[in-house]
Structure 1
Protein backbone atom coordinates (compact mmCIF):
# COMPACT_ATOMS: atom_id res chain seq x y z
CA UNK A 1 0.00 0.00 0.00
CA UNK A 2 1.10 3.54 -0.64
CA UNK A 3 1.61 5.73 2.43
CA UNK A 4 2.97 9.23 2.97
CA UNK A 5 6.49 9.98 4.10
CA UNK A 6 5.07 11.70 7.18
CA UNK A 7 3.23 8.50 8.14
CA UNK A 8 6.39 6.45 7.72
CA UNK A 9 8.50 8.92 9.70
CA UNK A 10 5.89 8.96 12.46
CA UNK A 11 6.07 5.16 12.64
CA UNK A 12 9.86 5.32 12.94
CA UNK A 13 9.65 8.02 15.62
CA UNK A 14 7.02 6.16 17.65
CA UNK A 15 8.90 2.86 17.55
CA UNK A 16 12.40 4.27 17.97
CA UNK A 17 13.65 2.92 14.65
CA UNK A 18 14.96 4.17 11.34
CA UNK A 19 13.20 4.30 7.99
CA UNK A 20 15.07 2.49 5.21
CA UNK A 21 15.06 4.47 1.95
CA UNK A 22 16.38 2.26 -0.85
CA UNK A 23 17.10 3.55 -4.33
CA UNK A 24 15.78 1.09 -6.90
CA UNK A 25 16.92 2.20 -10.39
CA UNK A 26 16.88 -1.35 -11.75
CA UNK A 27 14.01 -3.80 -11.67
CA UNK A 28 15.75 -6.52 -9.64
CA UNK A 29 16.41 -4.00 -6.85
CA UNK A 30 12.79 -2.89 -6.91
CA UNK A 31 11.45 -6.45 -6.67
CA UNK A 32 13.96 -7.36 -3.97
CA UNK A 33 13.10 -4.33 -1.82
CA UNK A 34 9.40 -5.10 -2.16
CA UNK A 35 10.23 -8.65 -1.00
CA UNK A 36 12.02 -7.29 2.07
CA UNK A 37 9.19 -4.90 2.91
CA UNK A 38 6.59 -7.62 2.73
CA UNK A 39 8.65 -9.82 5.01
CA UNK A 40 9.50 -7.06 7.49
CA UNK A 41 6.07 -5.46 7.77
CA UNK A 42 7.60 -2.03 8.44
CA UNK A 43 7.40 1.05 6.20
CA UNK A 44 10.10 1.26 3.53
CA UNK A 45 10.86 4.04 1.06
CA UNK A 46 11.27 3.08 -2.60
CA UNK A 47 13.38 5.88 -4.06
CA UNK A 48 14.55 7.00 -7.47
CA UNK A 49 17.20 9.72 -7.82
CA UNK A 50 17.37 12.12 -10.74
CA UNK A 51 21.03 11.12 -11.21
CA UNK A 52 19.84 7.61 -12.10
CA UNK A 53 18.26 8.85 -15.30
CA UNK A 54 21.42 7.55 -17.02
CA UNK A 55 20.22 4.01 -16.22
CA UNK A 56 16.47 4.31 -16.73
CA UNK A 57 14.02 7.21 -16.80
CA UNK A 58 11.57 7.95 -14.03
CA UNK A 59 8.80 7.78 -16.66
CA UNK A 60 9.76 4.14 -17.32
CA UNK A 61 10.40 2.69 -13.87
CA UNK A 62 8.32 5.14 -11.81
CA UNK A 63 4.92 3.67 -12.78
CA UNK A 64 6.19 0.20 -11.89
CA UNK A 65 7.36 1.45 -8.48
CA UNK A 66 3.96 2.99 -7.79
CA UNK A 67 2.01 -0.04 -9.08
CA UNK A 68 4.01 -2.63 -7.12
CA UNK A 69 3.85 -0.56 -3.93
CA UNK A 70 0.10 0.01 -4.35
CA UNK A 71 -0.79 -3.65 -4.80
CA UNK A 72 1.34 -4.82 -1.85
CA UNK A 73 -0.14 -5.24 1.62
CA UNK A 74 3.08 -3.83 3.09
CA UNK A 75 3.45 -0.04 3.55
CA UNK A 76 5.67 1.79 1.06
CA UNK A 77 6.55 5.39 0.34
CA UNK A 78 7.53 6.13 -3.28
CA UNK A 79 10.01 8.98 -3.25
CA UNK A 80 11.85 11.23 -5.71
CA UNK A 81 15.41 11.34 -4.37
CA UNK A 82 17.81 14.23 -5.07
CA UNK A 83 15.46 16.08 -7.37
CA UNK A 84 17.40 18.96 -8.86
CA UNK A 85 14.53 21.15 -10.04
CA UNK A 86 10.83 21.64 -9.43
CA UNK A 87 9.77 20.30 -12.83
CA UNK A 88 11.47 16.95 -12.26
CA UNK A 89 9.75 16.62 -8.91
CA UNK A 90 6.44 17.57 -10.52
CA UNK A 91 6.97 14.72 -12.99
CA UNK A 92 7.45 12.24 -10.14
CA UNK A 93 4.35 13.45 -8.31
CA UNK A 94 2.33 13.24 -11.54
CA UNK A 95 3.37 9.58 -11.82
CA UNK A 96 2.09 8.95 -8.30
CA UNK A 97 5.13 9.35 -6.03
CA UNK A 98 4.08 10.30 -2.51
CA UNK A 99 7.10 12.40 -1.52
CA UNK A 100 10.16 14.09 -2.93
CA UNK A 101 13.53 15.50 -1.97
CA UNK A 102 14.60 18.78 -3.50
CA UNK A 103 18.38 19.03 -3.34
CA UNK A 104 19.50 22.63 -3.51
CA UNK A 105 22.45 22.03 -1.20
CA UNK A 106 25.04 23.07 -3.80
CA UNK A 107 23.23 26.32 -4.56
CA UNK A 108 23.77 29.58 -2.66
CA UNK A 109 21.84 29.43 0.62
CA UNK A 110 19.12 31.96 -0.25
CA UNK A 111 18.59 30.29 -3.63
CA UNK A 112 18.25 26.92 -1.88
CA UNK A 113 15.67 28.39 0.51
CA UNK A 114 13.61 29.90 -2.32
CA UNK A 115 13.68 26.74 -4.46
CA UNK A 116 12.84 24.47 -1.54
CA UNK A 117 9.97 26.69 -0.41
CA UNK A 118 8.51 26.63 -3.94
CA UNK A 119 8.71 22.82 -4.05
CA UNK A 120 7.07 22.55 -0.61
CA UNK A 121 4.17 24.76 -1.70
CA UNK A 122 3.66 22.74 -4.89
CA UNK A 123 3.98 19.33 -3.20
CA UNK A 124 1.85 20.14 -0.16
CA UNK A 125 -0.97 21.25 -2.46
CA UNK A 126 -0.88 17.68 -3.83
CA UNK A 127 -0.70 16.05 -0.40
CA UNK A 128 2.95 15.05 -0.84
CA UNK A 129 5.76 15.53 1.67
CA UNK A 130 9.11 17.20 1.02
CA UNK A 131 12.66 16.60 2.20
CA UNK A 132 15.19 19.43 1.87
CA UNK A 133 18.94 19.53 2.35
CA UNK A 134 21.57 21.92 3.64
CA UNK A 135 25.20 21.08 4.07
CA UNK A 136 26.90 18.90 1.49
CA UNK A 137 28.64 15.55 1.15
CA UNK A 138 31.32 14.25 -1.15
CA UNK A 139 30.50 11.25 -3.29
CA UNK A 140 32.14 8.05 -4.47
CA UNK A 141 29.37 6.03 -6.10
CA UNK A 142 31.64 4.94 -8.94
CA UNK A 143 34.62 3.88 -6.83
CA UNK A 144 36.71 6.98 -7.58
CA UNK A 145 39.75 6.65 -5.25
CA UNK A 146 40.02 10.44 -4.96
CA UNK A 147 36.63 10.60 -3.24
CA UNK A 148 34.87 8.97 -0.32
CA UNK A 149 36.10 11.10 2.59
CA UNK A 150 33.79 13.47 4.46
CA UNK A 151 34.67 17.18 4.45
CA UNK A 152 33.95 18.73 7.85
CA UNK A 153 33.82 22.22 6.35
CA UNK A 154 30.61 21.18 4.56
CA UNK A 155 28.78 19.90 7.65
CA UNK A 156 25.37 21.36 8.39
CA UNK A 157 25.27 24.13 10.99
CA UNK A 158 22.48 23.95 13.60
CA UNK A 159 21.49 27.63 13.40
CA UNK A 160 21.22 27.38 9.63
CA UNK A 161 19.15 24.20 9.95
CA UNK A 162 16.66 25.98 12.21
CA UNK A 163 16.38 28.93 9.83
CA UNK A 164 16.03 26.68 6.77
CA UNK A 165 13.21 24.58 8.22
CA UNK A 166 11.32 27.63 9.48
CA UNK A 167 11.49 29.41 6.13
CA UNK A 168 10.80 26.44 3.84
CA UNK A 169 8.33 24.26 5.75
CA UNK A 170 10.07 20.98 4.85
CA UNK A 171 8.80 17.81 6.52
CA UNK A 172 12.29 16.40 7.13
CA UNK A 173 15.85 17.59 6.67
CA UNK A 174 18.86 15.91 5.06
CA UNK A 175 22.00 17.02 6.86
CA UNK A 176 25.73 16.47 6.60
CA UNK A 177 27.52 15.11 9.68
CA UNK A 178 30.14 12.63 8.47
CA UNK A 179 28.72 10.31 5.83
CA UNK A 180 29.51 10.32 2.10
CA UNK A 181 27.66 9.02 -0.91
CA UNK A 182 28.86 5.67 -2.22
CA UNK A 183 32.02 3.77 -1.27
CA UNK A 184 34.21 4.90 1.63
CA UNK A 185 37.97 5.33 1.31
CA UNK A 186 38.36 5.19 5.08
CA UNK A 187 36.28 4.49 8.17
CA UNK A 188 33.54 7.13 8.52
CA UNK A 189 33.74 9.45 11.52
CA UNK A 190 30.23 10.48 12.43
CA UNK A 191 29.70 13.58 14.55
CA UNK A 192 27.09 12.31 16.99
CA UNK A 193 27.02 15.51 19.03
CA UNK A 194 26.24 17.48 15.87
CA UNK A 195 23.33 15.12 15.11
CA UNK A 196 21.80 15.90 18.51
CA UNK A 197 22.27 19.63 17.98
CA UNK A 198 20.73 19.48 14.52
CA UNK A 199 17.71 17.53 15.70
CA UNK A 200 17.00 20.04 18.45
CA UNK A 201 17.52 23.01 16.15
CA UNK A 202 15.59 21.73 13.14
CA UNK A 203 12.56 20.39 15.00
CA UNK A 204 11.86 17.87 12.20
CA UNK A 205 13.17 14.33 11.56
CA UNK A 206 16.72 14.17 10.21
CA UNK A 207 17.75 12.22 7.11
CA UNK A 208 21.10 10.52 6.60
CA UNK A 209 22.36 10.29 3.04
CA UNK A 210 25.28 8.01 2.25
CA UNK A 211 23.92 5.24 4.46
CA UNK A 212 25.81 2.44 2.72
CA UNK A 213 28.85 0.95 4.41
CA UNK A 214 28.11 1.78 8.05
CA UNK A 215 28.11 -0.70 10.93
CA UNK A 216 24.83 -1.64 12.68
CA UNK A 217 25.99 0.10 15.85
CA UNK A 218 26.64 3.29 13.87
CA UNK A 219 23.13 3.24 12.43
CA UNK A 220 21.74 2.70 15.93
CA UNK A 221 23.78 5.56 17.42
CA UNK A 222 22.46 7.93 14.74
CA UNK A 223 18.87 6.75 15.20
CA UNK A 224 19.12 7.23 18.95
CA UNK A 225 20.13 10.85 18.34
CA UNK A 226 17.35 11.80 15.97
CA UNK A 227 18.00 10.38 12.50
CA UNK A 228 14.77 8.83 11.21
CA UNK A 229 15.40 8.14 7.51
CA UNK A 230 18.55 6.56 6.11
CA UNK A 231 19.25 6.41 2.38
CA UNK A 232 20.85 3.34 0.84
CA UNK A 233 21.94 2.39 -2.66
CA UNK A 234 25.58 1.69 -3.48
CA UNK A 235 26.13 -1.46 -1.43
CA UNK A 236 22.82 -2.95 -2.56
CA UNK A 237 23.81 -2.35 -6.18
CA UNK A 238 27.21 -3.90 -5.44
CA UNK A 239 25.48 -6.93 -3.90
CA UNK A 240 23.54 -7.36 -7.14
CA UNK A 241 26.76 -7.21 -9.16
CA UNK A 242 28.55 -9.70 -6.89
CA UNK A 243 25.63 -12.14 -7.12
CA UNK A 244 25.48 -11.72 -10.90
CA UNK A 245 29.20 -12.47 -11.20
CA UNK A 246 28.73 -15.65 -9.20
CA UNK A 247 25.85 -16.67 -11.46
CA UNK A 248 27.92 -16.07 -14.59
CA UNK A 249 30.54 -18.48 -13.33
CA UNK A 250 27.96 -21.24 -12.80
CA UNK A 251 27.84 -24.11 -15.26
CA UNK A 252 24.02 -24.11 -15.10
CA UNK A 253 23.66 -20.46 -16.16
CA UNK A 254 22.51 -20.32 -19.78
CA UNK A 255 20.36 -17.19 -20.08
CA UNK A 256 20.34 -13.69 -18.60
CA UNK A 257 17.18 -14.47 -16.64
CA UNK A 258 19.26 -16.75 -14.41
CA UNK A 259 21.62 -13.86 -13.71
CA UNK A 260 18.71 -11.50 -12.96
CA UNK A 261 17.27 -13.93 -10.42
CA UNK A 262 20.60 -14.12 -8.61
CA UNK A 263 20.94 -10.34 -8.65
CA UNK A 264 17.51 -10.00 -7.05
CA UNK A 265 18.53 -12.51 -4.38
CA UNK A 266 21.74 -10.56 -3.69
CA UNK A 267 19.84 -7.30 -3.20
CA UNK A 268 17.19 -9.03 -1.08
CA UNK A 269 19.79 -10.38 1.33
CA UNK A 270 21.71 -7.10 1.53
CA UNK A 271 18.68 -4.84 1.96
CA UNK A 272 17.21 -7.30 4.45
CA UNK A 273 20.27 -6.87 6.67
CA UNK A 274 20.03 -3.09 6.29
CA UNK A 275 16.37 -2.98 7.30
CA UNK A 276 17.07 -5.23 10.26
CA UNK A 277 19.87 -2.91 11.41
CA UNK A 278 17.45 0.03 11.47
CA UNK A 279 14.63 -1.83 13.23
CA UNK A 280 13.49 -0.88 16.73
CA UNK A 281 15.55 -2.52 19.46
CA UNK A 282 12.92 -5.20 19.96
CA UNK A 283 13.39 -6.17 16.29
CA UNK A 284 10.88 -5.92 13.49
CA UNK A 285 11.84 -8.94 11.40
Structure 2
Protein backbone atom coordinates (compact mmCIF):
# COMPACT_ATOMS: atom_id res chain seq x y z
CA UNK A 1 0.00 0.00 0.00
CA UNK A 2 1.22 3.49 -0.81
CA UNK A 3 1.85 5.60 2.30
CA UNK A 4 3.50 8.85 3.38
CA UNK A 5 6.98 9.11 4.82
CA UNK A 6 6.11 10.97 8.00
CA UNK A 7 3.70 8.33 9.28
CA UNK A 8 6.08 5.39 8.86
CA UNK A 9 9.01 7.27 10.43
CA UNK A 10 6.99 8.33 13.46
CA UNK A 11 5.99 4.69 13.98
CA UNK A 12 9.57 3.54 13.45
CA UNK A 13 10.79 5.90 16.18
CA UNK A 14 8.12 4.62 18.53
CA UNK A 15 9.39 1.08 17.93
CA UNK A 16 13.09 2.07 18.05
CA UNK A 17 13.51 0.85 14.49
CA UNK A 18 14.60 2.34 11.17
CA UNK A 19 12.98 1.96 7.75
CA UNK A 20 15.17 0.75 4.90
CA UNK A 21 15.26 3.23 2.00
CA UNK A 22 16.45 1.53 -1.17
CA UNK A 23 17.47 3.44 -4.29
CA UNK A 24 15.94 1.44 -7.13
CA UNK A 25 17.02 2.71 -10.57
CA UNK A 26 15.79 -0.41 -12.38
CA UNK A 27 12.88 -2.84 -12.34
CA UNK A 28 14.88 -5.67 -10.77
CA UNK A 29 15.74 -3.54 -7.75
CA UNK A 30 12.12 -2.43 -7.38
CA UNK A 31 10.84 -6.01 -7.46
CA UNK A 32 13.55 -7.36 -5.13
CA UNK A 33 12.93 -4.58 -2.59
CA UNK A 34 9.18 -5.18 -2.54
CA UNK A 35 9.62 -8.96 -2.26
CA UNK A 36 12.06 -8.59 0.63
CA UNK A 37 9.77 -6.16 2.48
CA UNK A 38 6.70 -8.33 2.00
CA UNK A 39 8.44 -11.48 3.23
CA UNK A 40 9.76 -9.59 6.27
CA UNK A 41 6.34 -7.92 6.72
CA UNK A 42 8.04 -4.55 7.16
CA UNK A 43 7.46 -1.15 5.54
CA UNK A 44 10.01 -0.01 2.98
CA UNK A 45 10.95 3.16 1.11
CA UNK A 46 11.52 3.01 -2.64
CA UNK A 47 13.54 5.99 -3.74
CA UNK A 48 15.06 7.46 -6.87
CA UNK A 49 17.92 9.94 -6.66
CA UNK A 50 17.86 12.85 -9.07
CA UNK A 51 21.50 12.03 -9.79
CA UNK A 52 20.47 8.61 -11.10
CA UNK A 53 18.69 10.21 -14.03
CA UNK A 54 21.54 9.00 -16.21
CA UNK A 55 20.58 5.41 -15.33
CA UNK A 56 16.86 5.88 -15.93
CA UNK A 57 14.75 9.06 -16.14
CA UNK A 58 12.40 9.86 -13.28
CA UNK A 59 9.41 9.88 -15.64
CA UNK A 60 10.14 6.22 -16.55
CA UNK A 61 10.95 4.68 -13.18
CA UNK A 62 8.59 6.82 -11.09
CA UNK A 63 5.30 5.30 -12.29
CA UNK A 64 6.78 1.80 -11.90
CA UNK A 65 7.78 2.54 -8.31
CA UNK A 66 4.34 3.90 -7.52
CA UNK A 67 2.54 0.96 -9.15
CA UNK A 68 4.51 -1.58 -7.12
CA UNK A 69 3.94 0.45 -3.95
CA UNK A 70 0.17 0.55 -4.51
CA UNK A 71 0.03 -3.23 -5.05
CA UNK A 72 2.28 -4.16 -2.13
CA UNK A 73 0.97 -5.96 0.95
CA UNK A 74 3.14 -3.76 3.20
CA UNK A 75 3.36 0.03 3.57
CA UNK A 76 5.61 1.53 0.87
CA UNK A 77 6.81 5.12 0.58
CA UNK A 78 7.82 6.45 -2.87
CA UNK A 79 10.49 9.06 -2.35
CA UNK A 80 12.70 11.40 -4.40
CA UNK A 81 16.24 11.24 -3.03
CA UNK A 82 18.70 14.16 -3.27
CA UNK A 83 16.39 16.48 -5.14
CA UNK A 84 18.58 19.38 -6.17
CA UNK A 85 16.45 21.10 -8.81
CA UNK A 86 13.03 22.63 -8.35
CA UNK A 87 11.96 20.92 -11.59
CA UNK A 88 12.80 17.40 -10.34
CA UNK A 89 11.05 18.02 -7.02
CA UNK A 90 7.88 19.22 -8.71
CA UNK A 91 8.04 16.37 -11.23
CA UNK A 92 8.21 13.80 -8.43
CA UNK A 93 5.20 15.35 -6.69
CA UNK A 94 3.24 15.37 -9.95
CA UNK A 95 4.11 11.69 -10.49
CA UNK A 96 2.51 10.86 -7.14
CA UNK A 97 5.59 10.47 -4.94
CA UNK A 98 4.56 10.65 -1.30
CA UNK A 99 7.84 12.18 -0.18
CA UNK A 100 10.66 14.31 -1.55
CA UNK A 101 14.10 15.30 -0.34
CA UNK A 102 15.22 18.85 -0.96
CA UNK A 103 19.02 18.76 -0.86
CA UNK A 104 20.43 22.26 -0.53
CA UNK A 105 23.10 21.17 1.94
CA UNK A 106 25.91 22.54 -0.23
CA UNK A 107 24.48 26.07 0.09
CA UNK A 108 25.01 28.51 2.99
CA UNK A 109 22.70 27.93 5.95
CA UNK A 110 20.30 30.78 5.17
CA UNK A 111 19.95 29.69 1.54
CA UNK A 112 19.38 26.09 2.61
CA UNK A 113 16.62 27.29 4.93
CA UNK A 114 15.01 29.45 2.25
CA UNK A 115 14.96 26.74 -0.42
CA UNK A 116 13.75 24.12 2.05
CA UNK A 117 10.94 26.35 3.32
CA UNK A 118 9.69 26.86 -0.23
CA UNK A 119 9.53 23.13 -0.93
CA UNK A 120 7.92 22.39 2.45
CA UNK A 121 5.22 24.98 1.77
CA UNK A 122 4.35 23.44 -1.60
CA UNK A 123 4.70 19.78 -0.60
CA UNK A 124 2.78 20.02 2.67
CA UNK A 125 -0.11 21.75 0.90
CA UNK A 126 -0.37 18.59 -1.22
CA UNK A 127 0.09 16.08 1.59
CA UNK A 128 3.67 15.21 0.61
CA UNK A 129 6.38 14.72 3.27
CA UNK A 130 9.73 16.52 3.04
CA UNK A 131 13.26 15.47 4.00
CA UNK A 132 16.12 17.97 4.04
CA UNK A 133 19.85 17.74 4.77
CA UNK A 134 22.13 19.76 7.02
CA UNK A 135 25.85 19.02 6.97
CA UNK A 136 27.77 17.15 4.27
CA UNK A 137 27.77 13.41 3.51
CA UNK A 138 30.57 12.84 1.02
CA UNK A 139 30.95 10.24 -1.75
CA UNK A 140 33.86 7.80 -1.63
CA UNK A 141 36.21 7.47 -4.60
CA UNK A 142 34.74 4.01 -5.25
CA UNK A 143 31.29 5.23 -6.12
CA UNK A 144 27.85 5.68 -4.70
CA UNK A 145 26.57 8.10 -7.28
CA UNK A 146 25.48 10.85 -4.91
CA UNK A 147 26.95 13.78 -3.04
CA UNK A 148 30.48 15.00 -3.73
CA UNK A 149 33.92 13.48 -3.30
CA UNK A 150 35.91 14.58 -0.23
CA UNK A 151 39.47 15.80 -0.14
CA UNK A 152 41.63 13.44 1.91
CA UNK A 153 41.99 16.00 4.69
CA UNK A 154 38.20 16.41 4.97
CA UNK A 155 37.43 12.80 5.88
CA UNK A 156 36.66 12.75 9.60
CA UNK A 157 36.56 16.56 9.74
CA UNK A 158 33.83 17.27 12.28
CA UNK A 159 33.41 20.81 10.94
CA UNK A 160 31.33 19.35 8.10
CA UNK A 161 29.18 17.33 10.51
CA UNK A 162 25.71 18.53 11.48
CA UNK A 163 25.72 20.98 14.37
CA UNK A 164 22.94 20.13 16.89
CA UNK A 165 22.06 23.74 17.75
CA UNK A 166 22.04 24.72 14.09
CA UNK A 167 19.85 21.70 13.34
CA UNK A 168 17.30 22.93 15.88
CA UNK A 169 17.18 26.36 14.23
CA UNK A 170 16.88 24.75 10.81
CA UNK A 171 13.97 22.50 11.76
CA UNK A 172 12.11 25.28 13.55
CA UNK A 173 12.51 27.56 10.52
CA UNK A 174 11.55 25.01 7.86
CA UNK A 175 9.07 22.55 9.46
CA UNK A 176 10.64 19.58 7.66
CA UNK A 177 9.38 16.10 8.52
CA UNK A 178 12.80 14.48 8.85
CA UNK A 179 16.42 15.57 8.65
CA UNK A 180 19.41 13.90 7.01
CA UNK A 181 22.45 14.47 9.21
CA UNK A 182 26.19 14.13 8.73
CA UNK A 183 28.08 12.20 11.39
CA UNK A 184 30.80 10.33 9.50
CA UNK A 185 29.05 8.13 6.93
CA UNK A 186 30.06 8.21 3.25
CA UNK A 187 28.15 7.49 0.04
CA UNK A 188 29.74 4.53 -1.73
CA UNK A 189 32.24 1.90 -0.59
CA UNK A 190 34.26 2.50 2.55
CA UNK A 191 37.99 2.42 1.92
CA UNK A 192 38.58 2.04 5.66
CA UNK A 193 36.43 1.47 8.72
CA UNK A 194 34.10 4.44 9.20
CA UNK A 195 34.52 6.67 12.24
CA UNK A 196 30.98 7.55 13.25
CA UNK A 197 30.10 10.24 15.77
CA UNK A 198 27.08 8.44 17.18
CA UNK A 199 26.88 10.70 20.22
CA UNK A 200 26.28 13.59 17.85
CA UNK A 201 23.21 11.78 16.48
CA UNK A 202 21.70 11.65 19.97
CA UNK A 203 22.52 15.31 20.58
CA UNK A 204 20.86 16.34 17.31
CA UNK A 205 17.75 14.29 18.03
CA UNK A 206 17.41 15.79 21.49
CA UNK A 207 17.41 19.24 19.89
CA UNK A 208 15.08 18.65 16.91
CA UNK A 209 12.81 15.80 18.11
CA UNK A 210 11.97 14.68 14.56
CA UNK A 211 13.15 11.47 12.84
CA UNK A 212 16.72 11.59 11.56
CA UNK A 213 18.06 10.07 8.35
CA UNK A 214 21.34 8.25 7.73
CA UNK A 215 22.78 8.72 4.24
CA UNK A 216 25.67 6.55 3.16
CA UNK A 217 24.03 3.71 5.06
CA UNK A 218 25.80 0.81 3.32
CA UNK A 219 28.76 -0.90 4.94
CA UNK A 220 28.17 0.13 8.56
CA UNK A 221 28.61 -2.42 11.36
CA UNK A 222 25.39 -3.89 12.79
CA UNK A 223 26.19 -2.57 16.27
CA UNK A 224 26.65 0.95 14.90
CA UNK A 225 23.33 0.73 13.07
CA UNK A 226 21.65 -0.23 16.33
CA UNK A 227 23.23 2.63 18.27
CA UNK A 228 22.36 5.13 15.54
CA UNK A 229 18.74 3.95 15.57
CA UNK A 230 18.58 4.11 19.35
CA UNK A 231 19.91 7.67 19.16
CA UNK A 232 17.37 8.96 16.63
CA UNK A 233 17.92 7.52 13.14
CA UNK A 234 14.62 6.31 11.62
CA UNK A 235 15.45 6.12 7.89
CA UNK A 236 18.59 4.51 6.46
CA UNK A 237 19.50 5.02 2.80
CA UNK A 238 21.01 1.85 1.37
CA UNK A 239 22.21 1.33 -2.21
CA UNK A 240 25.88 0.65 -2.91
CA UNK A 241 26.38 -2.66 -1.12
CA UNK A 242 23.19 -4.19 -2.55
CA UNK A 243 24.34 -3.07 -5.98
CA UNK A 244 27.69 -4.79 -5.41
CA UNK A 245 26.02 -7.93 -4.07
CA UNK A 246 24.15 -8.36 -7.35
CA UNK A 247 27.27 -7.64 -9.41
CA UNK A 248 29.38 -10.09 -7.39
CA UNK A 249 26.76 -12.84 -7.78
CA UNK A 250 26.78 -12.38 -11.54
CA UNK A 251 30.58 -12.30 -11.66
CA UNK A 252 30.82 -15.52 -9.67
CA UNK A 253 28.24 -17.25 -11.85
CA UNK A 254 29.90 -16.24 -15.11
CA UNK A 255 33.40 -17.06 -13.86
CA UNK A 256 32.78 -20.44 -12.24
CA UNK A 257 29.51 -21.85 -13.55
CA UNK A 258 28.26 -20.40 -16.81
CA UNK A 259 29.28 -21.80 -20.14
CA UNK A 260 26.39 -20.55 -22.20
CA UNK A 261 23.52 -18.66 -20.66
CA UNK A 262 20.50 -16.52 -21.30
CA UNK A 263 19.86 -12.99 -20.12
CA UNK A 264 16.85 -13.98 -18.02
CA UNK A 265 19.04 -16.39 -16.06
CA UNK A 266 21.39 -13.56 -15.18
CA UNK A 267 18.48 -11.35 -14.18
CA UNK A 268 17.21 -14.04 -11.82
CA UNK A 269 20.66 -14.45 -10.25
CA UNK A 270 21.00 -10.71 -9.71
CA UNK A 271 17.52 -10.45 -8.21
CA UNK A 272 18.16 -13.32 -5.81
CA UNK A 273 21.33 -11.61 -4.55
CA UNK A 274 19.56 -8.26 -4.27
CA UNK A 275 16.68 -9.74 -2.32
CA UNK A 276 19.02 -11.52 0.10
CA UNK A 277 20.96 -8.32 0.74
CA UNK A 278 17.80 -6.22 1.11
CA UNK A 279 16.34 -8.78 3.51
CA UNK A 280 19.41 -8.66 5.72
CA UNK A 281 19.33 -4.85 5.76
CA UNK A 282 15.64 -4.78 6.70
CA UNK A 283 16.23 -7.25 9.50
CA UNK A 284 19.16 -5.30 10.94
CA UNK A 285 17.37 -1.95 10.72
CA UNK A 286 14.24 -3.35 12.38
CA UNK A 287 16.16 -5.12 15.16
CA UNK A 288 14.98 -8.50 13.90
CA UNK A 289 17.07 -11.66 13.91
CA UNK A 290 19.28 -12.07 10.85
Q: TM-score range by the shorter chain?
A: over 0.9
| 2:281 is aligned with 1:274 | yes
Cα distance in 2 for partners of 1:269, 1:27 equals 16
Q: State the distance in 2 between where 1:55 and 1:152 align.
A: 33
Task: Pick closer, same or farther for the CA change 1:120–1:151 going to 2, 3 Å.
Answer: same
Structure 2: 5+ residue stretches without partners: 144-148
TM-score by length of 2: 0.93
What is the distance in 2 between the residues matched to 1:194 and 1:17? 18
Equivalent of 1:210, from 210, 213, 216?
216
3-state SS of paired residue (1:244): helix
- Deviation of the 1:114 alpha carbon: 0.6
Q: 8 Å contact 1:165–1:202 — kept in the other structure? A: yes
- Distance in 2 (CA, whole Å) between partners of 1:264 and 1:158 is 40
Q: Secondary structure at the match of 2:219?
A: coil
C-alpha displacement of 1:95: 0.9
Going from structure 1 to structure 2, the CA distance change for 1:257 and 1:149 (only over 3 Å counts) comes to farther
Q: How does 1:1-285 map to 2 (within 5 A)?
A: 1-140=1-140, 142-143=142-143, 149-249=155-255, 250-251=257-258, 253-280=260-287, 283=288
Structure 2 CA distance for partners of 1:92 and 1:37, relative to 1, 3 Å: same
| C-alpha distance after superposition, 1:204-252 (max 9, x if no partner) | 1111100000111110010111111111000011111111212323336
Q: Does structure 2 retain, via aligned residues, the 8 Å contact 1:149–1:184?
A: no
CA distance in 1, matches of 2:2, 2:142: 32
Structure 1 residue 96, shift from structure 2 partner: 1.2
| C-alpha RMSD over aligned residues | 1.8
- CA, structure 1 residues 150+268, in 2 after alignment: closer, same or farther (shift >3 Å)? farther
2:19, 2:44 within 8 Å by CA — same for their partners in 1? Answer: yes
CA distance in structure 1 between the aligned counterparts of 2:187 and 2:218, rounded to whole angstroms: 8
Gaps in structure 1 of 5+ consecutive residues = none
Q: Contact between 2:245 and 2:273, CA under 8 Å: does it hold in 1?
A: yes
Moved over 6 A (4+): 144-148
Number of matched pairs: 283
Cα shift readout 1:236-283 (whole Å, capped 9, x = no counterpart):
111111112123233365221111111111110111111110114xx2
Cα deviation 1:125-177 (Å, max 9, x = unaligned): 11010001110021027448977944322001011100100111100000101
Segment drifting more, 252-261 vs 93-102 = 252-261
Residues 138 and 150 of structure 2 are in contact (CA less than 8 Å); yes or no, is this contact kept in structure 1? no
- Residues of 1 paired with 2:29 and 2:141: CA distance? 16
Distance 1:38 1:253 in 2: 34
Question: 1:156 aligns to what SS in structure 2?
Answer: coil
